[in-house]
Amino acid sequence: MPNIKASERSVKTDAERRARNYSVRSTIKTSIRKVEEAAHAGKADEAKTLLTNAASVIDKAAAKGVIHKNAAARKKSRLARRANATQQAQ
């Protein structure tokens, strides 16, 4: 535990931020997994709707500063390629 008052406050706020960021990252992973599962199962329509939702979640995380904007763009791009590959296969 820090001795300086400001450092003590920083420890508390850092823990709060870490918990919030962890929650957002978990939501991102879940939405990505759902799209990938739908794409793998060959459900193109479901994958497309889930892709829209996942892109929204990823964009919100980037806006909050949880992930970098380029990382968000990369995740969305890779996800879109997987979802579109399902549509091409059908």
> What pLDDT is recorded for position 56?
97
Rounded distance, CA 55 to CA 23, Å?
Answer: 17
The tokens describing 33, both together, are 């997994």
Residues 6+ apart with CB under 8 A from 71: 62
Is CATH 1.10.10.10 the classification given to domain 5-89? no
The tokens describing 18, both together, are 């870490």
> What pLDDT is recorded for position 90?
65
Inter-CA distances, 16 with 61, 84, 90, Å = 16, 38, 46
What DSSP character marks residue 90? -
> What pLDDT is recorded for position 67?
97
> What pLDDT is recorded for position 89?
67
Domain-by-domain residue ranges, the chain?
5-89
pTM: predicted TM-score of the whole model, two decimal places: 0.86
Residue 14: CB atoms within 10 Å:
10
pLDDT in tens, the chain (90 residues): 889 999 999 999 999 999 999 999 999 999 999 999 999 998 999 999 999 999 999 999 999 999 999 999 999 999 999 999 887 766
